[in-house]
Amino acid sequence: MAKAKVQRKVAMSLMAHPDDCEILAGGTMVLLQQRGWEVHVVTMTPGDAGSATLGPVEIAAIRRKEAAKAAAVIGAEYHCLEARDFYVNYDSEQSRRALEIMRDIAPSLVFTHSLDDYMMDHEMAARLARCGTFGYAVPNASPRPVVKGSMVPYLYYADPLEGIDVYGYEIQPSTYVDISKAMATKTKMLRCHASQRDWLLKHHGVDEYTRAMKAWCAKRGKENGTRYAEAFRQHKGHPYPNDCLLARELGDLVIHPDEIPF
């Protein structure tokens, strides 16, 4: 499938933990929402291991609220599939949950983690997103109905941590998005995750949480002549549409590596 007609402007991020979307794809979600897209943030877990002082039930409750608050900054809806940190698995139960949320939201565009990343929760979330998008339009894959006018979504993998695979080799993006004008909103969203920001602040003595995010986006921006950028690799195998939907929707804000002057 080369180019698909998009009838539903619905974007969805399916990642492992609260704050992953904001760090890796938040700016692009901001830009889409500003252009009239409906946006959803989905996490596999509620971040129940994300504290050194609170138990899993307590911190999970806090992080669900933080995630919903962050999503609300851009009018997005937050959903949690209630797996547990370090136990996100590519199995029948979690695959079912991923496919069901795809059927419920019926996105035309999905962001997820890199298939090769620094931790297995991220890699498994990426595989679950791939499974859910691939099986989306197969009627017998789920009793959930396929929404009229929906399609196999465009699928984009975000950067792994520091842009490298598990062997330390750099990942080459297929797509850069200039998020310079969205950075203030992206930062506001990330700061909603106060439990994680405070935890790192105590450990580092500086606001490492937002600093590290901005530093990475600045690095990606420098690679293509912008101030801040997010980078992705597009899934183009069968049966996915393989033109760049982000370029169609965001125009000059999207740059491909072969377009960068050297």
Q: Answer yes or no: is 154 within a domain.
A: yes
Q: Answer yes or no: is 199 within a domain.
A: yes
Average pLDDT of adjacent 10-residue blocks, the chain of 262 residues: 81 98 98 98 96 94 98 98 98 97 97 96 98 95 92 96 91 97 98 85 66 95 97 96 96 89 59
Q: What is the pLDDT of residue 2?
A: 58
Q: What is the pLDDT of residue 117?
A: 96
Q: Answer yes or no: is 1 within a domain.
A: no
Q: What is the pLDDT of residue 88?
A: 98
The count of residues in the chain is 262
Range of the domain at 132: 10-259
Q: What is the pLDDT of residue 196?
A: 87
122-152 per-residue burial string, b: 16 or more CB within 10 A, e: under 16: bbbbbbbbbbbbbbbeeeebbeeebbeebbb
Q: Answer yes or no: is 48 within a domain.
A: yes
The CATH number of whichever domain residue 54 belongs to comes to: 3.40.50.10320
pTM for the predicted model, two decimal places: 0.95
Q: What is the pLDDT of residue 174?
A: 96
Per-residue H/E/C for the chain: CCCCCCCCCEEEEEECCCCHHHHHCHHHHHHHHHCCCEEEEEECCCCCCCCCCCCHHHHHHHHHHHHHHHHHCCCCEEEECCCCCCCCCCCHHHHHHHHHHHHHHCCCEEEECCCCCCCHHHHHHHHHHHHHHHCCCCHHHCCCCCCCCCCCCEEEEECCHHHECCCCCECCCCEEEECHHHHHHHHHHHHCCHHHHHHHHHHHCCCHHHHHHHHHHHHHHHHHCCCCEEEEEECCCCCCCCCCHHHHHHHHHEECHHHCCC
Q: What is the pLDDT of residue 54?
A: 94
Q: What is the pLDDT of residue 73?
A: 98
User: Looking at the 3D structure of the chain, how many domains does it have?
Assistant: 1
Q: What is the pLDDT of residue 262?
A: 54
Q: Answer yes or no: is 185 within a domain.
A: yes
Rounded distance between C-alpha atoms, residue 171 and residue 161, angstroms: 10
End-to-end CA distance of the chain: 32
